[in-house]
Amino acid sequence: MPHWPDRLYAALKRAGVRQVGYVPDAGHARLIQLCCDDPGIHDVALTTEEEGVALAAGAWLGGQRAVLLMQSSGVGNCINMLSLIRTCRFPMLMFVTMRGEWEEFNPWQVPMGSTVEPVLKLCQVEVERASKPDDVEPLADAAAQRVFGADKAVAVLLSQQLIGKKVWTK
């Protein structure tokens, strides 16, 4: 059975995603590589996460579908831009690798990690959570259907337990 990033990639392909914006992140590394290797997907390395909201708006205006991949700390960077989604009513699909949860070693990750879900909900973004590998693909399919079928904003949180314990490397 394929690893969950491969299944998430398959869900993005089924949904017709043509643009993927991301800030490099170890939790998304396999998915990012799959998107970069696909000539049918325009991959965009962002300098900051809020640029991904603008990317999704531009993709929608140009007739394409986009997703934003980011780490939970990046949600805080997007708060002002999330108002653009609400005002302009364009589809926004985000996959957020969580930090500040299970076995977190970095105390700087905890504050944003613990507030991601309520912050997104206050910004009128629907939130789903994948905690097991088998959760990822059906949640991605359902989220894509809601996002691209009704111009909604949905974030799928990929739990820290799902992505694995992060450790300092030398």
Q: Give the start-to-end residue ranges of the domains of the chain.
A: 4-162
Share of the chain above pLDDT 70, in %: 86
Tokens read off for 74: 């990046």
CATH number at 4-162: 3.40.50.970
pLDDT per position as a tens digit, 40-87: 999 999 999 999 999 999 999 999 999 999 988 889 889 899 999 989
| pLDDT value of residue 40 | 98
pLDDT per position as a tens digit, 95-126: 998 865 666 566 566 556 667 899 999 999 99
